Amino acid sequence: MNQDLRVDGQRLWDSIMAMAEIGPGQHGGSCRLALTDEDREGRDLFVGWCRDIGCSIEIDDMGNIFARRDGRNNDLPPIVAGSHLDTQPHGGKFDGIYGVLAGLEALRTLHEHNVTTEAPLEVVVWTNEEGSRFAPAMIASGVYAGLFEKDYAWARSDSDGKTIGEELQRIGYRGDSPCGEHTIGALFEAHIEQGPILEAEQKQVGVVVGGQGQRWYDLRIRGRDSHAGSTPMPGRRDALVAAAEIISMVRDLALDFAPQAVATVGEMSVFPNSRNTIPGEVFLTIDIRNPDEDKLAEMARELRVCITDCIDKNELDFGLDEIWDKPPVNFDAGCIAAVEAASRELGYSHQRIVSGAGHDACQVCLVAPTSMIFVPCAGGLSHNEAESAEPADLEAGCNVLLHAMLTLANR
Ligand SMILES: [Zn+2]
């Protein structure tokens, strides 16, 4: 009987549009930075909607919200859906919000049809996923998963010196229960893909099997400042010339490991940054990613060799610091199977996919069975007010979410 159950795609769409009106952007998106008044308003709207269908609300001391719909056996750990409601400064309407409101729509559908599950169901809102106002990103799911100490998280401050702890208090979302103690039986995070693959492959649903690993580096290249006019070309120690070679080597490194690898130099400072002085020093960042741990390690080794060769050839010095090493994550086989089976049984075109971006699910999967459901977004564009997704795709992903949750909750 439950096989025929479908979510209300229009209601899901209307809810996403209503949420987008809180902290509206100038160009059709949203600006709802973590723990601002807008964030509080968005949270209040969500909590009100959950109470309307009889959910109870628990808030932990990192401000994570768990809205619960009881099952027949409430001693079972809950099956949870969710994501985040905060946005980038020029954020879209769907990143994060879709995952939260798809979870709500699943619960609304069950409420409307009077369906009781065996295990309880919940929708979670994770605090400060974006990391735009407070770095690092995904900090509250990180505390939940034991990756960060709570005191560290509370003390993170924005550019005005306001801390997460103070701002949680101020907006009334610093709850009583200790973050990390709330049990999760399984977590599904529905999300727009934020990449071009599903659209290119004309698939409605991405069965996400994991998230890629990444390593971040700080590279400092040291040469010698000297006069741009009177220093002959031979014998110059130009750090910026080496930096230029390294930037294209980083691009080539990713191409060598195609199609899964990506690599980026996104930030650079040139010293002394004067047009008639040969640059004596350059600082730049390198970000390399690969879903395969061994290949990521191989990329890291090759990166070091390439940089060393380039620096030697140009007779310079360098310091390379690996400042972050996040291994790839593999989602839970049972959760992946539930998403795949639901996609198949509901007749949606689908394929397995790896997440390019980081998500709360990539943290929580370290402590609870987890997987994700992707839906296409136009042009793969995200972190942009023009971010857009088709109502039919959002509805498809939400139906998959509902049925994956039912499978696990009635197991
Ligand atoms: Zn997101």
DSSP code string of 196-226: SHHHHHT-SEEEEEEE-EEEEEEEEEE---E
- 130 CA → ligand 1 middle, Å: 7
- 266 CA → ligand 1 middle, Å: 20
- 189 CA → ligand 1 middle, Å: 10
**Residue 186 and residue 368 in contact, taking contact as beta carbons nearer than 8 Å:** yes
Q: How many helices (H) and strands (E) does the chain have?
A: 12, 16
- 190 CA → ligand 1 middle, Å: 9
Low-confidence ranges of the chain (pLDDT < 50): 1
**Residue 343 and residue 404 in contact, taking contact as beta carbons nearer than 8 Å:** no
- 257 CA → ligand 1 middle, Å: 26
* 3-state class (DSSP) for residue 101: helix
Cα 365 to Cα 9, 85, 190, 369, 399, distances in angstroms: 28, 20, 14, 6, 22
**Residue 10 and residue 388 in contact, taking contact as beta carbons nearer than 8 Å:** no
CB within 8 A of 313, min separation 6: which ones? Answer: none
* 3-state class (DSSP) for residue 411: coil
- 96 CA → ligand 1 middle, Å: 4
* Residue reference for tokens 């390198």: 286
Nearest alpha-carbon partner for 290 in 323, 319, 325, 321: 325
Nearest alpha-carbon partner for 395 in 380, 378, 411, 373: 373
- 90 CA → ligand 1 middle, Å: 13
Rounded to an integer, what distance in angstroms lies between the CA atom of residue 259 and that of residue 167?
Answer: 42
**Residue 53, pLDDT score:** 98
- 221 CA → ligand 1 middle, Å: 35
- 53 CA → ligand 1 middle, Å: 25
**Residue 369 and residue 185 in contact, taking contact as beta carbons nearer than 8 Å:** yes
- 361 CA → ligand 1 middle, Å: 10
- 359 CA → ligand 1 middle, Å: 6
The radius of gyration of the chain from alpha carbons, rounded to an integer in Å, stands at 24
Around ion ligand 1, which residues have CB less than 5 A away?
Answer: 95-96
- 89 CA → ligand 1 middle, Å: 13
**Residue 365 and residue 181 in contact, taking contact as beta carbons nearer than 8 Å:** no
- 329 CA → ligand 1 middle, Å: 17
Nearest alpha-carbon partner for 168 in 183, 179, 180, 159: 179
Neighbours of 307 (CB within 10 A): 21
Rounded to an integer, what distance in angstroms lies between the CA atom of residue 358 and that of residue 377?
Answer: 17
First to last CA, the chain: 16
How many CA atoms are closer than 13 Å to the CA of 155, on its beta-carbon side? 5
b/e sequence 366-384, b meaning 16+ C-beta within 10 Å: ebbbbbbbbbbbeebbbbb
- 38 CA → ligand 1 middle, Å: 17
Nearest alpha-carbon partner for 155 in 172, 167, 173: 167
- 259 CA → ligand 1 middle, Å: 23
Rounded to an integer, what distance in angstroms lies between the CA atom of residue 275 and that of residue 216?
Answer: 30
Q: Which two tokens stand for residue 155?
A: 């003390």
3-state secondary structure 229-297: CCCCCCCCCCHHHHHHHHHHHHHHHHHHCCCCCEEECCCEEEECCCCCEECCEEEEEEEEEECCHHHHH
CB within 8 A of 113, min separation 6: which ones? Answer: 5
- 83 CA → ligand 1 middle, Å: 7
Amino acid found at 31:
C
- 219 CA → ligand 1 middle, Å: 29
